[in-house]
Amino acid sequence: MTDLLSPLPLRGLTLPNRFVVSPMCQYSARGGVVGDYHLVHLGRFALGGFGTVIVEATAVTAEGRITYGCPGLWDDAQIAGMARITALLRAQGAVAGIQLAHAGRKASSIPPWLMGTDEREADAEHWEPVAPSALPHAEDAPMPRAMREADIEAEVAAWAAATKRAVEAGFQLIEIHGAHGYLLNQFLSPLSNRREDAYGGSAENRMRFPLKVVEAVRAAMPEDMPLFLRLSAVDGLDGGRTIEDSVAFARAARDRGVDVIDVSAGGFTGSRFEIGPGMYLPWAAQIREDAGLPVMAVGLMGEAELAAEALSDGRADLIGLGRAALDDPNWPLHAARQLGTETRALWPKQAGYAIERWPGRNTAKG
C-alpha cells in the first residue's frame, strides 16, 4: 500500500497520493459555465481520499464542446464557477486539475441520456463542427468543415488563452486532451486526417498541430505547474495509430514540457478492445519505458490489488478512476482498508473519528 499512498512530486507541485479522478463528462453546464452540481460532484471525491481531481473536458472554444452541456474556458465569465471548484478541492487537501479539450468533428452532439429518444432540452444547440478533414466520425454525424491554416493558428491561440484562464481560476495542473477521437487525436490519426498540407500526410506532419498546442499551453503556464497529456495509445482500427506512433509522440511532447502521459485508447467509430481489468496497462507501461515519462493508468483499474501492483511493478505512476469513482466516491479509503492500511487519518476529520468507532465497520463495503 505504500506506493498508492506515497506522494508524487511533479515540478513545483506534490500530488498527495497516487489516486486520481479522471475527467468525466457530465453534460450539465450552461453556456459553458459550471454550477452547483459540478461543485458537489467533484467535491465528494476530495472528501473520499482522491489526491488529485481533474475537471471534465473543458472546451477551449464554444465550437469545441462535445455537447451544448459541456463546460468551457473560452470566456472570462466562465472563470468564477471554476474558481469555486478549485477552492473547495484545495481546501480539502486535493490537487485541482482540469482537462482542456476540443471535440473537433465529434462536437455538436447531444447528452448521451437523450440519444435514441425524442426528448429535447430547451437550451439545446447545434453548430457546424471543424476537423482536420471533411470526414464525419459516424454515418449519422454532422459533416465537419475542414480547418484552414488560419483556423489552426486561431485554435492554438485559443488553447493558450484557456490555459491562462485555468491558471487564474486556481487550477494546479492542466491536462491536454489528445485522446478518444477528439480534435488533437483527429490530427494525429491517418483515419481522420487526409490533409495534403504541412498538417497532414507523414507522421511528422500529423503531429505538427498537436505539438503546437502543447507548446502554446506550456508557454501559458507557470514553469512550476505540471502538464499532463491524455493520449489514445492506439486507435484500435486497421490503418490507425499504433503504440509505436504514440511512443514517438510522447517523446516529442516530453521534449516540449509534458510531465505525465495519461494513457487511454480508442475513440473512433468501430474501434474494439478486449475488455478487462487493466485493459490499457500494457500500453501505459510501454510508453513509460520507451518515452521516459511518468504515466497514469486508466481502464478498469478499480481493483485495489491491481492498482497497487501496477505501481509497485513499475508499470504506472498514477491510477486514474472514472466510473469506479462514480460508483464509490470513497474508493481510495476503501482500497486502503482492503490492503491493510489504517484509514482514520485519510478521512476528513469530521468523519474519521466516527468511522473508527462504527460497530459495522468490519462488514462495510471495502
Distance between CA atoms of residues 234 and 243, nearest Å:
6
Alpha-carbon span 67 to 27, nearest angstrom: 7
Whether residue 50 contacts residue 325, with contact meaning beta carbons closer than 8 Å, is answered with: yes
Residue type for 302, please?
G
* Distance (Å) of CA 137 to CA 178, 195, 343: 16, 16, 46
pLDDT digits 0-9 by tens, 44-60: 999 999 999 999 999 99
C-alpha cell belonging to residue 264: 487511454
The pLDDT confidence band at residue 366, using thresholds 50, 70 and 90, is very low
> How far is 207 from 204, CA to CA, in rounded Å?
5
Contact 299, 267 (CB under 8 A): no
Q: So what's the pLDDT on residue 363?
A: 52
Q: Which of 236, 261, 98 is nearest to 180 (CA)?
A: 236
Record the pTM.
Answer: 0.96
What residues contact residue 77 under an 8 Å CB cut-off, 6+ apart? 33
Catalytic site includes residue 182: yes
Confidence of residue 345 (pLDDT cuts 50, 70, 90): confident
Inter-residue contact 202 to 257 (CB < 8 Å):
no
Q: Tell me, what's the pLDDT at 362?
A: 61
Task: From the candidates 182, 199, 280, 353, give the one annotated as an active-site residue.
Answer: 182
Tell me the CATH class for 2-363. Answer: alpha beta
171-185, 209-223, 328-342: range with lowest mean pLDDT: 328-342
